[in-house]
Amino acid sequence: MVGSASETSHIKKLTNDPVPDSKPDWSPDGSKIAFQSDRGESADIWVMDTDGSNLTQMTTNLSLDLYSSWGPDSNSIVFYSDRTGNSEIWAIDVDGTNERQITDNPGWDGNPAWGPDGSIAFTSTRSGALKIWIIDADGNNQMQLSTGAGDDDVPSWSPDGRYLVFVSTRSGDQQLWKLDVETGEYSQLTFDAHYERCPPDNFCPNLMSTSWSPAGTKIAYHAYTKESGDIWVMDADGSNKTVVVPGNVNTDYYSPSWSLDGTKIVFQDKIIDIDSEQYGGSDIWLVDLNKKENIPSSYAILSIFGLFMSFIFLSKRRSTTSAGK
Ligand SMILES: [Ca+2]
Ligand SMILES: [Ca+2]
Ligand SMILES: [Ca+2]
């Protein structure tokens, strides 16, 4: 039986359609949420108001159009598409005009993140392994940004454009890393996540896509605890890791994106059919971080702006489960 997630006083469902809706991205001006959906004739980019109303289809091409990220002016959306027969980075204006191709390379190019200074970070296989590249929105100045061992994927910009957080296997298993774009220095942010629903040999980067708070002090991310995929928040240096939306045995949550005022996070669920161990449709959800009612007591979650007593509990719990692996 497929389990279902439920709304609480602080968690609201924004879409309600049996087909997958995923990878929400809050516009920098706070007015809209872009996401990818199969509710049209194919996978496309859609936009809605922040209460889930005014659903508008952006792309209409019958190919795959995936992984939307807003431009800094909140007027354009970058995404990737295989409509040319090869996965490339594309952009479209929110009025549905000016659809344009940004990359043109035989390698796989995808998972773009449009940065505050206008440059677009994305993942590409053009040098072999998955690596982070950047390109100007007009297609100029492409360069490989991340180097080193392993795969790097799903980059996310800090609001000041100085750092990228991304998933990397450079230390072995999938972890979140931060790259200082100015100095080229890497730092590891997570160390002991769990991936019970991601086979060990698979790279499942979308399960760890991240979002910086508009103030740049926090990073929302997805990680598996023992039984479920949860939405977490940590400080930008990797400290104070706290669950803000705990998943459960039937439901994983991921792809967080912060609101402009930093008080809300939009994210997606994926319902799991326990019998078949298959994922069902997904929807877009919103959590209000300032409301603490009805939060499961087993996690003893506090507001991210409050004290972090739960961190002690979670650290103990996670080190226990790590040792048992
Ligand atoms: Ca849906
Ligand atoms: Ca499409
Ligand atoms: Ca390509």
Where residue 189 sits, what CATH number does that domain have? 2.120.10.30
pTM, two decimal places? 0.86
Whether the Cβ atoms of residue 178 and residue 187 lie closer than 8 Å to each other: yes
The pLDDT of residue 56? 98
Is 288 within a domain?
A: yes
Compute the mean pLDDT over every residue in the chain, rounded to the nearest whole number: 86
Q: Which ligand sits nearest to residue 13's alpha carbon? A: 1
Measured in Å, residue 82 CA sits from the centre of ligand 2 at: 9
Quote the pLDDT of residue 107.
Answer: 97
Ligand 2 centroid from CA 173, angstroms: 33
For residue 282, which ligand has an atom nearest its CA?
A: 1
Specify if 298 maps to a domain: yes
Ligand at shortest distance from the CA of 37: 1
How many domains in the chain? 1
With respect to residue 148, please indicate whether it lies within any of the assigned structural domains.
yes
As a whole number of angstroms, the distance between CA 170 and CA 151 comes to: 7
Cβ-contact 84, 71 below 8 angstroms:
no
Output the pLDDT for position 271.
81
**Which residues crowd ion ligand 3, with CB under 5 Å?**
86, 88, 105, 109
- Give me the pLDDT at residue 280, please: 74
Residue at 3 is within a domain: no
Residue range(s) defining the domain that contains residue 53: 11-323
Pairing between β-strand 264-273 and β-strand 251-258 as defined by DSSP bridges: antiparallel
Cβ–Cβ < 8 Å for 143, 134: yes
What's the 237 CA to ligand 3 centre distance in angstroms? 33
Going from the first residue of the chain to its last (325 residues), give the mean pLDDT of each consecutive group of 10, the final group possibly shorter: 63 93 96 96 97 98 96 98 98 97 98 97 96 98 97 96 95 91 96 62 64 98 80 96 89 93 95 72 94 49 38 38 33
Assess if residue 1 is contained within a domain: no
Query: What is the reported pLDDT for 279?
Result: 72
CA of 278 to the centre of ligand 2 (A): 24
Strand-pairing partners, residue 285, are: 13, 267
How high is the pLDDT of residue 43?
A: 96
* Residue 168 CA, ligand 2 centroid: distance in Å: 28
Question: What was the pLDDT predicted at 203?
Answer: 58
- The answer to whether residue 202 is domain-embedded is yes
* Domain-located, residue 268: yes
Å from CA of 261 to ligand 1 middle: 26
Give the number of the ligand closest to the Cα of residue 81. 2
CA of 89 to the centre of ligand 3 (A): 8
Q: Return the SS3 of 320.
A: helix
Ligand 3 centroid from CA 67, angstroms: 15
CA of 306 to the centre of ligand 2 (A): 42
Question: What's the pLDDT at 293?
Answer: 53
Distance 86 CA to ligand 3 centre (A): 5
Whether 5 is in a domain gets the answer no
Q: For residue 26, report the distance from its CA to the centre of ligand 2, in Å.
A: 21
**110 CA from centroid of ligand 3 (Å):** 8
* Residue 46 near residue 33, CB atoms below 8 Å: no
Q: How far apart are CA 213 and CA 207, in angstroms?
A: 19
Q: Report pLDDT digits (tens) over 159-180.
A: 999 999 999 999 988 889 999 9
